[in-house]
């Protein structure tokens, strides 16, 4: 879907105006006045500045691109007198009509800008090796394949290469758009393993999957040497929980291959990150971390289109930190890069819901994923690919139903 220029915006505004006139042409003039004033109020208050700007832009275009009672009322309504008083029935009708028109404004404006309804994800490209992924309509599910004996949720399940390959193929068939393969656990207090051991775990599986799957493969590692070997086999993404803080040569490898790069925030190391993590303002501090990280990546020659951002849920955060970050995912969209959300089966869900077993945290994981989609996350790193794909598809179907 293209981003709309002036012609596209006028077309959308005209469509909206015609639908408004069709809907309200049989109502009284007073009701029209009350309804449209409510639109003006919704534009000016109760929404983030970016949303107010989008809505006010639509209203402004309506005034100049369409005619009829709706537009006349927009120009002439006396907000101060109309917004006060009125019978209860009229105020109820005002709320319903205003809410529905607000949905139309949001919906058609998103369509005009080439945005998925309800996603809040603009058209962005992620360059990964020789191809690119385009975000803007559908979210991408990144399936987790842990080749470790000690991962918090599925440790030991896929140590056998045959089982690992079968699981990767299964996740692709269930809707995974990326397979993320890791050989070293990054759970809290996880021990460090050698390069040789990590290589032994992942390379045989990578070599078999290259050519077997059409979706991009991602290597989950902090070791530049392993990243280089994986990219040489055909892997297209490096998922680095260390964000190149521990070994900046990772950026040289990513730049050399032109691969995609997941920049994740982590406070400390996997061994220390959950030792009483503290922040003055967790959202602001991670926002600043991303700004500095992107700047440093650009300074060494990476293109911003190679980078996506992951707030690092569970990596040096308390339960409240995690909830606050998920709630404010939209904040990080200012950097113009897709947002990765990795919440699947994590311990904060268990603490909120009182569930000890990681395998029983699916419902909480799906709730977080749906909220993440609502506020603008684009990539969802999960264990339960089928359930997540279905939940996100259902959420989209609901959000894309624009009342007319």
Whether 85 contacts 78, CB under 8 Å? no
Q: How far apart are CA 121 and CA 339, in angstroms?
A: 9
Chain centroid offset of residue 382 CA: 13
Question: Is 131 designated active site?
Answer: no
Question: Is 228 designated active site?
Answer: no
Whether 138 contacts 116, CB under 8 Å? yes
Nearest by Cα to 207 from 187, 235, 188:
235
Whether 378 contacts 135, CB under 8 Å? yes
Question: Among residues 115, 345, 361, 381, which one is catalytic?
Answer: 381
Question: Among residues 33, 223, 317, 346, which one is catalytic?
Answer: 346
How far apart, in Å, are the Cα atoms of 199 and each of 149, 203, 265?
14, 6, 24
Nearest by Cα to 106 from 328, 402, 377:
402
How far apart, in Å, are the Cα atoms of 177 and each of 66, 162, 197, 216?
42, 21, 28, 7
SS percent in the chain: helix, strand, coil, step 5: 50, 10, 35
- Residue 218 region, left (φ>0) first, then alpha (ψ -120 to 50), else beta? beta
Sign, CA dihedral 170-175-177-180, equals negative
Q: How far apart are CA 330 and CA 235, in angstroms?
A: 29
Catalytic residue set = 346, 381
């Amino acid at each position: 879907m293209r981003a709309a220029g002036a012609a596209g915006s006028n077309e959308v505004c005209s469509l909206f105006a015609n639908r408004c006139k069709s809907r309200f042409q049989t109502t009284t003039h007073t009701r029209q006045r009350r309804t449209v004033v409510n639109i003006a109020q919704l534009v000016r208050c109760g929404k983030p500045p970016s949303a107010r700007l989008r809505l006010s832009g639509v209203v402004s275009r309506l005034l100049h691109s369409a005619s009829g009672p709706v537009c006349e009322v927009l120009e002439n309504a006396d907000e101060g007198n109309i917004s006060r008083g009125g019978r209860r029935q009229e105020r109820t009708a005002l709320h319903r009509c205003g809410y529905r028109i607000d949905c139309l404004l949001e919906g058609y404006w998103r369509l005009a800008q080439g945005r998925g309804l309800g996603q809040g994800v603009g058209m962005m490209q992620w360059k990964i090796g020789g191809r690119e992924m385009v975000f803007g309509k559908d979210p991408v599910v990144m399936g987790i394949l842990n080749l470790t004996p000690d991962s918090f949720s599925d440790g030991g399940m896929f140590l056998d290469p045959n089982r690992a390959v079968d699981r990767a193929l299964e996740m692709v068939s269930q809707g995974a758009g990326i397979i993320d393969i890791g050989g070293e656990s990054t759970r809290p207090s996880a021990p460090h393993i050698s390069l040789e051991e990590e290589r032994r775990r992942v390379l045989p599986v990578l070599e078999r999957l290259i050519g077997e799957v059409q979706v991009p493969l991602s290597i989950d590692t902090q070791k530049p040497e392993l990243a280089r070997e994986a990219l040489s086999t055909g892997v297209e993404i490096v998922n680095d929980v260390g964000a190149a803080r521990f070994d900046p040569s990772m950026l040289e490898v990513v730049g050399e291959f032109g691969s995609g790069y997941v920049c994740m925030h982590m406070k400390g190391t996997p061994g220390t990150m959950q030792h009483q993590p503290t922040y003055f303002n967790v959202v602001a501090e991670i926002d600043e971390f991303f700004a500095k990280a992107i700047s440093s990546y650009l300074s060494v020659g990476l293109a911003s289109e190679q980078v996506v951002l992951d707030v690092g849920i569970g990596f040096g955060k308390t339960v409240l930190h995690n909830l606050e970050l998920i709630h404010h995912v939209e904040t990080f969209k200012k950097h113009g890069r897709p947002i990765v959300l990795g919440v699947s089966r994590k311990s904060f869900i268990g603490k909120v819901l009182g569930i000890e077993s990681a395998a029983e945290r699916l419902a909480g994981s799906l709730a977080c994923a749906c909220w993440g989609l609502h506020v603008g996350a684009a990539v969802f790193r999960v264990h339960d690919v089928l359930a997540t794909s279905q939940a996100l598809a259902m959420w989209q179907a609901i959000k894309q139903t624009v009342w007319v």
